[in-house]
């Protein structure tokens, strides 16, 4: 198995990076939709239905598959011989942030369900503040992998 993973390493890495880009695009965009949905849309209106459709499609058609692909290709990289040195700090900081990003993804999914049920209680400000979390995770992940601190 290790020989196969080593032979496809460049492809695995490329697919992982593409998956991360797609996932991050959704992670940054969905909370922005929530900001406008919370601040400017009347529950039960046509615009509410429009926002709900956009949010549902973004989560289900882009973010969920991108997150799954990120995890699959990321784990393939982890199991590729010679890529991760577990005695160093960087894989652990990256792993913690990837788990945090995954938690945030699911948090967004629960918030989408609240909007769909007409039960959102959070303000646009809450979604603006929460939107800073994936940026922090991304910075730590990139520095961990590139600088290997």
Please give the distance of CA 93 from its chain centroid, rounded to a whole number: 16
Tokens of 125: 């400000």
Instruction: Give exposure, 54-64, as e/b (b: 16+ Cβ within 10 Å).
Output: ebeebbeebbe
DSSP 115: H
Three-class SS of residue 11?
A: helix
Q: Which domain holds residue 12?
A: 2-146
Please tell me the predicted confidence (pLDDT) of residue 2. Answer: 77
Please tell me the predicted confidence (pLDDT) of residue 1. Answer: 80
Which residue's entry shows tokens 């239905």? 49
Rounded mean pLDDT for each run of 10 residues along the chain, 149 residues in total:
91 98 98 97 96 98 98 97 94 98 98 96 97 97 94
Q: How many domains does the chain have?
A: 1
Please tell me the predicted confidence (pLDDT) of residue 149. Answer: 81
Sequence-distant (6+) residues with CB within 8 A of 84 are 77, 78, 91
pTM of the model: 0.94
Please tell me the predicted confidence (pLDDT) of residue 143. Answer: 97
- How far, in Å, CA of 51 to CA of 25, rounded? 17
């Amino acid at each position: 198995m290790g020989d196969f993973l080593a032979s496809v390493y460049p492809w695995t890495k490329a697919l992982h990076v593409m998956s991360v880009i797609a996932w991050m695009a959704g992670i940054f965009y969905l909370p922005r939709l929530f900001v406008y949905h919370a601040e400017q849309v009347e529950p039960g209106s046509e615009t509410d239905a429009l926002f709900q459709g956009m949010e549902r499609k973004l989560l289900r058609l882009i973010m969920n598959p991108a997150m799954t692909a990120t995890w699959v290709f990321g784990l393939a990289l982890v199991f590729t011989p010679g890529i991760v040195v577990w005695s160093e700090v960087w894989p652990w900081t990256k792993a913690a942030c990837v788990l945090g990003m995954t938690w945030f993804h699911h948090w967004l999914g629960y918030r989408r369900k609240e909007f769909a049920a007409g039960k959102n209680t959070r303000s646009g400000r809450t979604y603006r503040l929460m939107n800073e979390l994936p940026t922090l995770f991304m910075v730590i992940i990139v520095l961990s992998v590139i600088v290997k601190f």
